[in-house]
Each structure stands twice: as C-alpha cells, then as structure tokens.
Amino acid sequence: MMERNKIKPTHLARNSVIYVRQSTATQLERNRESTDRQYRLAERAVDLGWRRDQVIVIDEDLGCTGSGAIERPGFNRMASDVALGRIGIIFGLEASRLARNSSDWYRLIDLAGMTDTLIADADGIYHPGLFNDRLLLGLKGTMSEAELHMIRARLTGGIQNKAARGKLRCHIPIGYVWWDDEMKFHPDEAIVSAIRSVFERFSELGSARQVWLWFRNQCLPFPNQHKNGEITWEQARYWQIKEVLRNPVYAGVYTFGKSRKERRMDSTGRIRYRVRNLPQEEWQVFIRDHHEGFVDWQTFESIQARMRNNSPASSPEVGGAVREGAALLQGLATCGRCARRFHVKYDGRNSSPGYYCPGTIFVDGKAKSCLIVGARKIDAAVVKVFLETMNSVGIEAALIAEENLEADYDSAIEQWRLEVERVSYEAKRAERRYRAVEPENRLVARGLEAEWEKCLRKLSTAEESLREREKKRPRKLTECEKERLKDLATDIGLVWSSPTTTDRDRKELLRTVLEEVNIRLEPGVLKAYLTLYWRGGEITELDVDLGPRKVPTFRTDEDTIELLGRLARLYPDQVIANILNRQGRRTASGERFTAHNVKRLRKSWKIPTFEPQPEEDGEVVAIDKAAEILGIGSSTLHRYLADGFVAGEQLTPGAPWRIRITDELRARFTDESPDGWVPMKTAIALLGVSRQTIMQRIKRGELQAICSRYGRRKELRVKLPKKQDLGNTGQLTLF
C-alpha cells in the first residue's frame, strides 16, 4: 500500500516502460523463463493504474550485455525519454537488467530523480528523488556490478587454471582434434599428410610462397576448416600456407592468452574495443612438448627466422627472399660503414647489377648514398671462394639432391593417392544414400542421384590425374649414372655455370653456407674489402680490385662524323639518327643510331646543337611547310620535285628534302590561268610527245609552265610558242 502511495496522477499521465534484456544470445535461447517474467511486467503496470496503451516494452537490447562493453540502443532511448519527462515509471525484473555498471546506473537514477520518474523491480517501487530510495537503488546497482565482477572472476579463474594445465579445449588449427582432453593428429590421413607436406617443402624451398606455388603446380587440394568444424578441400591459398608455418601448435606447443582486449575512446567520445596480439614472452600459457608436433621446436624457430629474413628488405636486419636477378649477394651483402643491408640496383643498357646502401650521408650540405658499388667483380670474387670451398663437399650434395628429387615426387604422388581414396569414399557414401531412399520419392532421389554423379565425376578426374602423374615419374639413376654424378660433383663449377642453373638457384646455394658478406670501401682506393661470414663461425677476408676494365677502343667512321657535322646545322638529333640509319650506317659498336648516340657524338666532337631558324620568304623550309605555303599537297609537291618543276635540296641521300621559297616560285602557283596557257593533256596532244619529254623541256627552260586552279583542283598548264622545232628534220609546225 505504501508503494502505491508513491504513484501520483502525474506519473499515471505519462507512459510506463518495461525494459527487457538478456546478456547473451545463448541465455535468450535457453533461459526462456527469465525472458517471459520480464515481458509479464506489463500486467503489473496495468494493475498499478496505467492504461495498456501507455505500456511501452523496450526489448531492443536482447542479447546485449549490460556491463557497458557495447552500446545499448534500447537503454539510450529509454534514458532520453526519461530526461524529456515522458516516462512515469520504469519496470525491470531487477537492477542488473537495467545496468551492470555504475556509470549507466547512476546516470539513469540521476535523470529519474530530476524528472520525477519512478523505478520498480520485483521488490518494490522506488523514487530516486527520495534519499532512502536513492540509497537503496545505489546499493543495488553497486551489488549488481560486483556480482558481474565475481562471476567473471570465477569463470576466468577456472578457464586460466585449466589452460595452465593444458586441458582447456580452445580452438586448434586444422590437422588436430581433441580426444579425451588431449590433442591428437586428425584421424583423416590426407589432412595430416597435407600439413606434413607444407613443412617438408619449406625445408627444401625455403619460402612460403614457393611452397604455395608447389601445391598449385601439382594441382593438390588443401584442407580448409570452417567455423562450424566442416572441412572442405580447395585450392591452396597463400595465407593458409603462412598460417601453418607460423602456428606454434604444429611444433607441439600449447598456447593460451596470445592476445589482449583493450579499451579506448574514439574521437566521438565512444568506448571502443580492439584486440592486440601480444609478443611471445607475454603469452599467459606456453607449454612445450604438450602434444605430438609435425616439427620440433628448434625446427619451428628456424622456420620463423627464415620467414623473417624472407620479408622485404625494409630494415637493416632483414635480407629478403631470394629473387630473380644477376646480383648474387642480394640479401647477404651489408655496408661496411653503417652495417645496413644493401639494396640492389640495375643500370645501363645491359642492366648491370650493383649494390647501394639505403642510408644517406651529407657531403658539403648535400645528401648522398652511403655507399654504391658495382656487383660483377665482387660477386665473381665471392663465387670463386665459394666454389673452392664447396668442391670438398660436392659428392654429398649430389647424393642429397638425388634423394630430394625422389622424395619430392613421392610426396606429391602420395597426396594424390590419398585424394583418390577420399573422393572414392565420398562417392560410395553418396551411393549408399541414394540406394537408401525410396524409389517413389523422386524429389529426394533426384537430388541424391545428382550428388552421386558429381562424386563419380570427381573420382574419375582424380584417378585420371593420378595415372598421369604416375606416368611422369622421374627415372631412377642407374649405378653408372650415379658414378658420373659423383664425378661431376667433384667440380661443382660445372654445375654452377650450367645453362640450366638459374640465378635464383645460385643465390640459394650461396645462402646455404654464407650468412653475411660485409663490403667496405676506402676513399681514393679502387679496392673493395670483403669479410665473408660462413655458417659455423668461420670468417674469410678478401681484397677485390675495382679498377676500370680494359675496354677495346672503337672509333666512328670519319665520313660519318663529317656528315654529322653538316646535318647538325639543319636537323635535330632524332632526324639525324633516322638519316644515318636509312643510309645503313652504324655506331662504332655496330648498333643502330639513336638520338642519344647522336647527342653523345656531337658532344665528343664538339659539334654545335641544331637551332631552328625562323621560316621567312626566301628561306629554305621543309617539304611539308613548303606544300602549305604553296597551297598544294605534300604528295603533289614530291611529284613536282621528281619532275623537275620545283627545285629542291637534299643534303645527303636519306635526308629530308628542303625547298627554297622565292617570289619566282610563288608566281608559278596561281589561282587563275592566263590566256595562251593550255592543260598538260592538250600540250601532249598538240606537241605529239610524252609528258616526260614536256617536263624535261620545262626543266631546261625551253617551255614555261605554271600550276593554276581548274575547278576544285590544281593542275599544270603549259605555254606553247607559235613555232615548235621538231628536231633534226628542220620542219616547223605553226599553231
């Protein structure tokens, strides 16, 4: 009765809110009674005097925790309505349903006290504006937060205690399963074999990318485990190979607590959470030899070191994976001044390799590279020492290479046999499912029949691929061939210089025995001082002469230089190069001329650069410009040049034609034809000679001709004399 006294008409005039919340989706699914009790609070609001249309149920936060870790849109909407004075009372099953953190709880009761809003739970009705009720609500909110803390502490303590013993069933990578609180290899032999192949191929190839390419080249599927535990076989992906190589579980290590959840505030003032991966020394649980691993811990550490070195050379400690290119010390060479790893560069027409230090030094206030040196002589010196050292162990290397070749093939063929076995099982299972269904139930039978046919096609493809690969099995070496291989191994230099040995292979060979090659240069001395650090601790020092190579001297022909001097006054370098190439001339080294070659020759012989002159009347211009001035086409002007109607200049065969524009030449091209000038066809008919004869007479000055417009085109017109000499007969024809 006293509780009803707190309800005033002002409260009944406003809405009542039923706040419904469950912390997780699991609770929402399994603890249905608690959810139903919260919804039934609407009946209590009606019993206390609120109309049914005034009862508002807010259940937007079902599945959201009340700890403040995430935002609750329903709670925020309710707090806003309380602040606006729209709510008379808030119903909740208990204080923990409204909030489990003090910041949200005290914000709500502060707003409720200022706006005269009641709060009701299973124990009674409270007015936050009254001291005793506010004190009781504060205690309930604090106890709710403390209860959550204690629940979490008990659960976390139990999890950590079980994880410390290695018994906690956490997520494990593909290739393992939990069996009686122990991690065992997956019972599927194909999955285990695929994981083993990753580590075996990495020990041979030394790169995660090369392992991935090996799987793709062999067309081998790779197991992929989904979140629901289902395993499918798909084409291998690069990230899958890297995850296998980087996961310590495959080395027999049990780990827990490798990441940490951190809370931060964003620019809008909201609390955000992120997961940060911790370094190995900060992991909560790290148990070696917890279960049987695919590799031991020492091998796993060497794999991680190799993968770090394979990363791009962005820091002095990283050398990068071997790549194509002629610089053999890529990833091994270091600067003798600052100890940074050298970067590789390729310069010149032949892409000559070189090394340069990424660090910079300042000379006279200008930044320059710390050290730059060519690679050919340094690489040759290192290779010479390497070959001398490797000759003593060449026989063992040859035998190991033969074994690796056979093991590589056996590993791939075993994977395919397991694939055939797996697909065969799927086909038999699909067949059993199809035969188990009633024939009359065609809706189900059709789907099972299609699945069976699909499995049979996959089985046929897998068997055909297995047969093809078995046919391609590499032939085993005979005893005679093994003896020859041993003889060849005594001189590893032949293998090194073989055309089938790539630069990538040579780099891999160098890395097997060398850890670092330190290069140091002294100012003013054409020598490089090398320090070779071998695996095992041995050190070798070398002095390499960097003097200039003796290059045979070549000299360009004298007539080519003389012609270049004449052409340079009239044409740019590119045009000169085209002229020289059309004449069949070559540089001193026997190559075609380019603008760069011409420019270099001009500078060597101190020939001035071409400077174009202004094109004025009476000046010599190019044929395109002349055609534009005369108002005809370039092809027509070329024909007039050949006929001799227009005079032109050509400095040398193959050079562009040049025409001198004069008033007399301009007068030959008119728009109107004077009286007494006839077209060329008429002149040929009247004179009784060919066009070539008339053009020769025009060229000698015996006849006159102009180019005038006839309709929309221009044509030649000839002025004929009154008497025409017909030759030695002395006869004259009058017109």
Condensed to tens digits (0 to 9), the pLDDT of residues 601-614 reads 888 888 887 766 55
User: End-to-end alpha-carbon separation of the chain, Å?
Assistant: 146
Q: What is the pLDDT of residue 417?
A: 77
In the chain, the amino acid numbered 662 is: T
The Cα–Cα gap between 487 and 492 comes to 10
- Contact (CB, 8 A) for 659 and 626: yes
Least confident range from 2-11, 105-114, 614-623: namely 614-623
The Cα–Cα gap between 369 and 363 comes to 10
| Residue 364 predicted with pLDDT over 60 | no
> Regarding predicted confidence, which is higher, 354 or 470?
354
| Residue 359 predicted with pLDDT over 80 | no
Q: What is the pLDDT of residue 316?
A: 41
List beta partners, residue 519. 335, 530
Helix (H), strand (E) at residue 121: strand 118-121
| Residue 179 predicted with pLDDT over 60 | yes
The Cα–Cα gap between 154 and 534 comes to 55
In the chain, the largest separation of any two C-alpha atoms, in whole Å, equals 155
The Cα–Cα gap between 699 and 64 comes to 104
Please give the share of the chain, as a percent, with pLDDT higher than 90.
5
Cβ-defined contacts of 396-405 (< 8 Å, 24+): 397/489, 397/492, 398/485, 398/486, 398/488, 398/489, 399/485, 399/486, 402/477, 402/482, 402/485, 404/204, 405/474
The Cα–Cα gap between 729 and 727 comes to 6
pTM of the predicted model, to two decimals?
0.48
Instruction: Report how far apart, in Å, the C-alpha atoms of 201 and of each of 121, 162, 214, 355 are.
Output: 66, 36, 8, 31
Instruction: Report how far apart, in Å, the C-alpha atoms of 32 and of each of 38, 64, 151, 179 are.
Output: 10, 16, 21, 33
What are the b/e assignments for 102-122, b being 16+ CB within 10 Å? eebbbbbbebbbebebbbbbe
Question: Which band of pLDDT confidence, cut at 50, 70 and 90, is reported for residue 250?
Answer: very high
Q: What is the pLDDT of residue 723?
A: 52
| Residue 729 predicted with pLDDT over 50 | no
Mean pLDDT of 631-645: 82
Segment 83-97, tens digit of pLDDT: 998 999 999 888 778
Q: What is the pLDDT of residue 413?
A: 72
The Cα–Cα gap between 79 and 250 comes to 51
Number of Cβ within 10 Å of residue 453's Cβ equals 13
| Residue 44 predicted with pLDDT over 60 | yes
Q: What is the pLDDT of residue 724?
A: 45
> Regarding predicted confidence, which is higher, 168 or 206?
168
Segment 251-301, tens digit of pLDDT: 999 999 888 888 777 777 677 778 888 888 888 899 988 888 999 998 998
Q: What is the pLDDT of residue 397?
A: 54
Phi-psi region of 437 (alpha: psi -120 to 50; beta: other; left: phi over 0): beta
| Residue 52 predicted with pLDDT over 70 | yes
Least confident range from 47-61, 399-413, 537-551: namely 399-413
| Residue 414 predicted with pLDDT over 80 | no
Helix, strand, or coil (residue 184): strand
- Contact (CB, 8 A) for 14 and 51: no
Q: What is the pLDDT of residue 102?
A: 81
Candidates 652, 647, 566, 641; CA nearest to 602 is: 566
The Cα–Cα gap between 78 and 71 comes to 13
Question: Which band of pLDDT confidence, cut at 50, 70 and 90, is reported for residue 735?
Answer: very low
Number of Cβ within 10 Å of residue 218's Cβ equals 19
Phi-psi region of 49 (alpha: psi -120 to 50; beta: other; left: phi over 0): left
| Residue 320 predicted with pLDDT over 70 | no
> Regarding predicted confidence, which is higher, 475 or 328?
328
| Residue 167 predicted with pLDDT over 70 | yes
DSSP secondary structure of 497-546? T-TT--HHHHHHHHHHHEEEEEEEE-TT--EEEEEEEETTS-EEEEEEE-
Which residues are part of the catalytic machinery? 23
- Contact (CB, 8 A) for 334 and 516: yes
Question: Which band of pLDDT confidence, cut at 50, 70 and 90, is reported for residue 249?
Answer: very high
Cβ neighbours for 315, distance < 8 A, ≥ 6 positions apart: 341
Q: What is the pLDDT of residue 362?
A: 54
Helix, strand, or coil (residue 226): coil
The Cα–Cα gap between 215 and 212 comes to 5
Give 497: exposed, middle or buried? Use CB within 10 Å, 0-12, 13-18, 19+. Answer: exposed
Mean pLDDT of 185-196: 87
Mean pLDDT of 21-48: 85
φ, ψ for residue 278, nearest 5 deg = -95, 150
User: Where are the extended beta strands (E) located within 680-728?
Assistant: 704-710, 713-719, 723-725
> Regarding predicted confidence, which is higher, 679 or 395?
679
Segment 118-160, tens digit of pLDDT: 998 888 888 888 888 888 888 888 888 888 888 888 888 888 8
Mean pLDDT of 498-521: 83
Least confident range from 183-197, 433-447, 620-634: namely 433-447
| Residue 484 predicted with pLDDT over 70 | no
What is the average pLDDT value for the chain, to the nearest integer?
80
Helix (H), strand (E) at residue 114: helix 102-114
Q: What is the pLDDT of residue 719?
A: 84
Please give the share of the chain, as a percent, with pLDDT higher than 70.
85
Candidates 653, 675, 473; CA nearest to 559 is: 653
- Contact (CB, 8 A) for 531 and 539: yes
